Structure 1
Amino acid sequence: MRIACVGGGPAGLYFAIVMKRRNPHHEIVVHERNPVGRTHGWGVVFWDDLLASLRANDPESAQAIADQAIRWSGQTVDVEGSTPLHHAGGGYGICRRRLLEILTERALALGVEIRFESEVSTIGQVSDADLIVAADGVASRLRRHRADRFRPRIEAGRNRYVWLATTRPFPSFTFGFVRTKAGWIWCHAYSFKDGMSTFIVECAPETWSGLGFGAMPAQDQMRALEAIFATHLGGHGLVSREDRSETLPWMSFRTLSNRSWHADRLVLIGDAAHTTHFTIGSGTRLAIDDAIALAAALSEHDTLPAALETFGMRRRRALARVQRDARLSAAWFENLPRTIRYDAPTFFTLLLARRSRLLRHMPVTAYLSLRTIYTKLNGLAFMRSVTTGGVRRDVRSRAPRGIAGHIPEPPRR
């Protein structure tokens, strides 16, 4: 089969790897519009489930990724004026650029042809391919050509965010919240390689405009953010790939879904097919899951239409709950004033339970009471350890998503 993959991100590269391993006679060309080594963002996060999938489908690249990944332990919530709280768990961070280098090297070793600075904006440019895989991101140009078949839906989130980095190591995934004169602003921070961490800053649009970020030069914004998050940064600075431009690249997250994932021989994977809000950290895993599922469907069926129909059905079904969770998580952060009024342990409970559909529609105190009753009735409560300012304190929890059994103090005024 002659295959054209448009987009050299994790989805396109890993699909090429898996297909070549399944059948080395496939002729696969990956078209990447950027030069070698250029990518957006800093680090990405993943968990053991992704490593297991990688090892099952290509042990060689899996080992290289595992060797380069940084392990972070647990989650920390640090609300200005309160003692930081820690929760058990863990995951991995890896430099996005290094991840792509690993996948690129592996694809080339297997015989995949990769063309950098090769921008494909029309189907006609790859018309000689038997299968065209659109892995060209949320703004996919190929998807636009068949919008009548894919029927995409894009919803812009309310909050503004900017993807930065810092030289401060974060041993745990850290949520840092600071109250400013214009409202709350917060960071999502995690290490992705030695001496570097991702530092995503998020806030409501009113806070963003109230702090003057809309008209402030990039360097001034960086200095302002360093001052706001001085406690969390511990003397380290912030870094942006665009700090020489006039302003920082603040964005509103775009949630994308498609009614169909294929049109004739054109199929969507990764962010071209779907997006999930960064607050659940599943983008890379889902992109690679798409690649594996597409390769599997192609191997199972004798005809391309049947394979693509099976792939789309399976992945839409698999994504349904994930996208729902992502919407709930994004909405929780968009309505931060509702929960950050409470004491730190209660707030942490609510943050970890942000994917709950009940929480969105119930008063906070009613939700916590119902949660405690439910865990007791079902015998699911067990002791989990939370560290508060270096002192270990036991609280009840039914799952890693929340700290149940805590009676909240009155909300902050």
Structure 2
Amino acid sequence: MNIVCIGGGPAGLYFALLMKQHNPAHDITVVERNKPYDTFGWGVVFSDATMDNMRQWDKATADEIEQAFNHWDDIELDFKGEVIRSGGHGFVGIGRKKLLNILQARCEQLGVKLVFEADVNSDAEFPDADLIIASDGINSKIRTLHQEVFQPELVVRPNRYIWLGTNRLYDAFTFVFEKTEHGWFQAHIYKFDENTTTFIVECPEHVWLAHGLDKATQDESIAFCEKLFAGTLQGHKLMTNARHLRGSAWLNFQRVKCEQWWLKNAHGAHVVLMGDAVHTAHFAIGSGTKLAIEDAIELTRLFIEMGDAPERIGEVLTRYQATRSVEALKLQNAAWNAMEWFEVCGERYCDTLEPPQFMYSMLTRSQRISHENLRLR
């Protein structure tokens, strides 16, 4: 098969290396708009279960990731002057750049061709391809180009968030809540390497506007967050790597959900969306990378099971969408529950609940952890 992966995120890279490992005769190219070994972002998170899955499919990659990641079992809440911990949760944090670099190096080792600094606008640019993986992110050009077929449902949520980092190291997945005269802010904090911690600050739109953050520069926003979360930062600074964004670095989360995941284009190539291009999960449960990696695993598994000759692609993709869309929707629904909890917690829970009750509500927000399961943890 002639396979082209558009977008050098976890989904495209991992699928490329798995398929090349399965059948070295496949001609596989990954096309990436960034420079070699260059990416934006802080840390990403996935669960112990995803790590176990990766270990079964490509031990060499899993072993290298394992050496680079930061593992923790505890979730910590800092709220109203109390600090509460819960154990037994099992997460892995790794720098997004480090993860992609590991996957890029593994692709090169297996003979996958990597093309950098190439901006792809259409799947028609690859007329000789049998299969095109469009893993070109949340603002996917390929999805937009064929939106009448893919039928994406795009929902922009009201909360504002800014993705920052710090050199203060935390030994648990930490949530910190701070009240201002206009309302509540929350920080989602997790260490992802030996020097750096992801620090996401989130608040409702009306609180963001009341503080004038819509008019603030990136430096002014960082200074505001440093002052607000000075207690937990303990003298450490906040950093941004979003200098490439114009204006405010505050974002709204977009939920992406597609009715159709694949099509056959005018050149006869099968085009399938993967990762954030086809489904997003809110960072409140940190499952975007998990979804992307497991997309790649499931499609590879089906090609191995059903055959990877070009004439089988349509059949494989039909089965892939049928099975994978169900699993993706489960995670999206859990993430939606968690997202909604953070959107209303300031007005609904922060002022009325004491720290133990608040922690209980936060840990069961996605409805993936039951009351009995939490009792065991």
TM-score by length of 1: 0.85
Q: Distance in 1 between matches of 2:47 and 2:366?
A: 18
Q: Distance in 2 between matches of 1:52 and 1:153?
A: 32
Give the counterpart of 1:270 among 242, 250, 275.
275
The Cα offsets for residues 165-212 of structure 1, whole Å up to 9 and x where unpaired, read as 001001000000000112100100000011210000000011111111
The Cα offsets for residues 268-307 of structure 1, whole Å up to 9 and x where unpaired, read as 1101110010101111111010001111222223411100
% identical equivalent positions: 37
Partner-residue secondary structure (3-state), 2:179 = strand
Q: Residue 350 in 1 paired to residue 361 in 2?
A: yes
Q: Residue 281 in 1 paired to residue 258 in 2?
A: no
Q: Distance in 2 between matches of 1:48 and 1:250?
A: 30
The verdict on how the C-alpha distance between 1:246 and 1:326 changes in structure 2, with shifts beyond 3 A counting, is: closer
The Cα offsets for residues 307-364 of structure 1, whole Å up to 9 and x where unpaired, read as 000111111111121111111111111111211120000000000111239xxxxxxx
Q: Distance in 2 between matches of 1:215 and 1:399?
A: 47
Report what 1:215 is aligned to. Answer: 215
Report what 2:232 is aligned to. Answer: 232
Q: Which amino acid aligns with 1:398?
A: R
On the 8 A contact 1:219/1:244 being kept in 2, the answer is: no
CA shift at 1:155, angstroms?
0.6
On the 8 A contact 1:332/1:354 being kept in 2, the answer is: yes
The Cα offsets for residues 10-49 of structure 1, whole Å up to 9 and x where unpaired, read as 0000000100111000000000011123323200112211
Report what 2:267 is aligned to. Answer: none
Give the structure, 1 or 2, with the largest relative contact order (CA under 8 Å, sep 6 or more). 2
Partner-residue secondary structure (3-state), 1:321 = helix
Q: Distance in 2 between matches of 1:113 and 1:23?
A: 15
Q: Which amino acid aligns with 2:332?
A: Q
Partner-residue secondary structure (3-state), 1:149 = helix
Report what 1:338 is aligned to. Answer: 348
Q: Distance in 1 between matches of 2:304 and 2:315?
A: 11
Report what 1:361 is aligned to. Answer: none
Q: Which amino acid aligns with 2:83?
A: P
Partner-residue secondary structure (3-state), 1:278 = coil
Report what 1:82 is aligned to. Answer: 81
Q: Which amino acid aligns with 1:84?
A: V
**Which runs of at least 4 in structure 1 moved beyond 6 Å after TM superposition?**
none
On the 8 A contact 1:178/1:228 being kept in 2, the answer is: yes
Partner-residue secondary structure (3-state), 2:215 = coil
CA shift at 1:246, angstroms?
6.5
The Cα offsets for residues 105-147 of structure 1, whole Å up to 9 and x where unpaired, read as 0000000000001111112111210001100011111112221
Report what 2:332 is aligned to. Answer: 323
Aligned CA-pair RMSD:
1.7
On the 8 A contact 1:218/1:244 being kept in 2, the answer is: no
Gaps of 5+ in 1: 358-370, 382-396, 401-413
On the 8 A contact 1:242/1:248 being kept in 2, the answer is: no
Report what 1:50 is aligned to. Answer: 50
The verdict on how the C-alpha distance between 1:242 and 1:138 changes in structure 2, with shifts beyond 3 A counting, is: closer
**How do residues 14-413 of structure 1 correspond to structure 2 at under 5 angstroms?**
14-79=14-79, 81-89=80-88, 90-242=90-242, 247-264=247-264, 265-302=270-307, 303-336=312-345, 337-340=347-350, 341-356=352-367, 380=372, 397-398=374-375, 400=377
Partner-residue secondary structure (3-state), 2:235 = coil
TM-score by length of 2: 0.93
Q: Which amino acid aligns with 1:345?
A: P
Q: Distance in 1 between matches of 2:136 and 2:206?
A: 32
How many residue pairs were aligned? 365
On the 8 A contact 1:218/1:246 being kept in 2, the answer is: no
Q: Distance in 2 between matches of 1:235 and 1:62?
A: 36
Gaps of 5+ in 2: 265-269
Q: Distance in 2 between matches of 1:246 and 1:12?
A: 27
Larger Rg belongs to: 1
Report what 1:408 is aligned to. Answer: none
CA shift at 1:222, angstroms?
1.1
Q: Distance in 2 between matches of 1:399 and 1:330?
A: 25
Q: Which amino acid aligns with 2:112?
A: V
The verdict on how the C-alpha distance between 1:63 and 1:128 changes in structure 2, with shifts beyond 3 A counting, is: same
On the 8 A contact 2:166/2:237 being kept in 1, the answer is: yes
